[in-house]
Each structure stands twice: as structure tokens, then as C-alpha cells.
């Protein structure tokens, strides 16, 4: 089996460390490079030492050098950084797994454009379980299409910078599409004061930030006399990392294209 050479962006962060650990444990993967910004105090350190397992790969800031020895870059950083990495991947013809969330419409268009030249997996959540939930939500919404109010509740750690989470938004999009609604027209993000009676077609979002919560998501269908709750809870970041490696394997050998985890899992 041909091994895939991975570069990891944001390697000293919580997700970066988990990704490095996942690559180290995968017999079909090689850690080719670990990247950080030029002012990071972790530059020059062994990437594996960050979680107690030295691997011989030093953390660096030279993106071009890293991509020159890599097949795939995995990026769970921030939109501005990811877009810079996107252009570098385009130059080097390296595939890109994007787990970053919070992109503007302009940023999303840049990703779509780059995917005409390189393969890109862009998904709000890489965990296989979450993507199974997306399918369940589609079915549930089609069945519960009358007389049920829909609310999306998500919780993350205090360090998360965007809200609602990309996963919560994707859940809302899945439900809205199944119900024949446009999420941009029916979504409400938090409520305060005298809001009036809840419109029947509204999809509400509630956001919790605190502590070290990895990621909890619930979609509530509330009807007369009953409620259905579909929930996914993450106990660690490893499911996201394993899904990202699966995405990298999916793209290996492809020339270009924009994909999501539903493509990777063969659910389309």
C-alpha cells in the first residue's frame, strides 16, 4: 500500500497535535511536515514531543518546503491562514483537507476556484459519526415536515472563535433543504427581549461556549406532546483527525475537484 505523505498546518494547536498523533498511528500515512507561523515558540521542536511521542519531524514555517515533500496538507486553522495555504497548495499541486470553519462567501468562492486545479475536501466536520447524523437529519426532517419546530443547539470550548459552529450551520442547512426552506431566510441566531410568537418555519440556533467542551450538537424537533432530539457528542478530537486522514486517502490520485465528507464516505 502506497503511503500518503501529510503536512499538518497549525501543528502546535489542539487539533494539530491530534492530527500528528493520528498520522503516527496510521500505517498508511507518513508525517512529512509540521507547520506553524513564523513567530511560533514551537519552531524547531520535534512535532511528536507535543504529545509525548517524538517523531523526528521538526516544526517549521516554510510552507513551500513542506509542500514540496507532501502529498496532502491538512488544515484546521483559521480562514485567513487556510486561504494562504490554499494558494500554496495550488502552486505545488498538493491536495488539501480543509476542516477550518468561519469562511466568508468570498473565501468559499476561492476554495471552489482552487478546486478546479487541485483536489480539495472541504467539510464543516470530518468525523464519520457526525456525517452519519447529517443523513439521519435529512430523513428525520422529511418525516417530521409538519407540526414540528426545529432548534439547533451547539456547545464548544471557550477558545472557539466562530459561532454558530460550522457543524451546527451544516445541520441547519440539511434540515432546511429537506423541508424546502432557505436557511438564510428562516434562521434566527439567538433570541432576546420580546420576540413575539415563534414562526412555524423558523430554524433557531443556540450557542454555548465554555471550558474544554470538544463539541456537542443537538437538533431538536419539538411537536405537540413530543420532541425528538438527535445528538452527537465528541469526547475527543481524534474522530475529526481520523476523518481527515480518510479524506486524504480519498483524494490520493485525483487531479482536482471539490468534495465533502459525504463524497468521502460514499453517501452521495
d(CA 186, CA 98): 27
Look at the chain and count its residues: 268
* pLDDT tens track for 52-106: 778 899 999 999 999 999 999 999 999 999 999 999 999 999 999 999 988 999 9
Cell of 246: 480518510
pLDDT band for position 51 (cuts 50, 70, 90): confident
User: Which of 160, 166, 163 has its CA nearest to residue 261?
Assistant: 166
pLDDT for 53 equals 79
Report the interhelical angle of 166-179 vs 128-143 (nearest 10°).
30
* pLDDT tens track for 218-245: 999 999 999 999 999 999 999 999 999 9
Q: Say if residue 1's pLDDT is above 80.
A: no
pLDDT for 179 equals 98
In this prediction, residues 4-21 reach a mean pLDDT of: 96
DSSP 198: P
DSSP 50: G
* pLDDT tens track for 105-144: 999 999 999 999 999 999 989 999 999 999 999 999 999 9
pLDDT for 268 equals 79
* Class of residue 64 by CB neighbours under 10 A (exposed 0-12, middle 13-18, buried 19+): exposed
**What mean pLDDT value characterizes the chain?**
96
pLDDT for 82 equals 97
pLDDT for 49 equals 85
Residues catalogued as catalytic: 156, 160
* Domains of the chain with bracketed CATH: 4-122+237-264 (3.40.50.720), 128-234 (3.30.360.10)
Q: Between 174 and 2, name the one with better pLDDT.
A: 174
What is the pTM (predicted TM-score) of this model? 0.86
Q: Say if residue 212's pLDDT is above 80.
A: yes
* pLDDT tens track for 162-205: 999 999 999 999 999 999 999 999 999 999 999 999 999 999 99
DSSP 164: S
Amino acid at each position: 500500500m502506497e503511503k500518503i505523505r501529510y503536512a499538518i498546518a497549525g501543528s502546535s494547536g489542539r487539533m494539530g497535535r491530534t492530527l500528528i498523533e493520528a498520522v503516527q498511528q496510521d500505517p498508511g500515512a507518513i508525517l512529512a511536515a509540521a507547520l506553524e507561523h513564523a513567530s511560533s515558540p514551537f519552531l524547531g521542536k520535534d512535532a511528536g514531543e507535543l504529545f509525548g511521542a517524538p517523531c523526528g519531524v521538526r516544526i517549521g514555517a516554510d510552507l513551500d518546503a513542506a509542500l514540496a515533500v507532501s502529498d496532502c496538507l491538512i488544515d484546521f486553522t483559521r480562514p485567513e491562514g487556510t486561504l494562504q495555504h490554499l494558494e500554496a497548495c495550488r502552486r505545488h499541486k498538493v491536495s488539501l483537507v480543509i476542516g477550518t470553519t468561519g469562511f466568508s462567501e468570498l473565501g468559499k468562492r476561492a476554495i471552489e476556484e482552487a478546486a478546479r486545479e487541485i483536489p480539495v475536501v472541504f467539510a464543516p466536520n470530518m468525523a464519520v459519526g457526525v456525517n452519519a447524523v447529517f443523513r439521519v437529519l435529512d430523513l428525520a426532517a422529511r418525516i417530521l415536515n409538519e407540526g414540528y419546530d426545529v432548534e439547533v443547539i451547539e456547545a464548544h470550548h471557550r477558545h472557539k472563535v466562530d459561532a454558530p459552529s460550522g457543524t451546527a450551520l451544516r445541520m441547519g442547512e440539511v434540515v432546511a433543504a429537506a423541508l424546502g426552506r432557505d436557511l438564510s431566510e428562516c434562521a434566527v441566531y439567538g433570541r432576546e427581549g420580546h420576540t413575539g410568537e415563534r414562526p412555524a418555519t423558523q430554524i433557531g440556533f443556540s450557542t454555548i461556549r465554555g471550558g474544554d467542551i470538544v463539541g456537542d450538537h443537538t437538533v431538536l424537533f419539538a411537536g405537540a406532546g413530543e420532541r425528538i432530539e438527535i445528538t452527537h457528542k465528541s469526547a475527543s478530537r481524534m474522530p475529526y483527525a481520523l476523518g481527515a486522514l480518510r479524506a486524504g486517502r480519498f483524494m490520493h490520485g485525483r487531479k482536482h475537484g471539490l468534495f465533502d465528507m459525504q463524497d468521502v464516505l460514499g453517501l452521495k
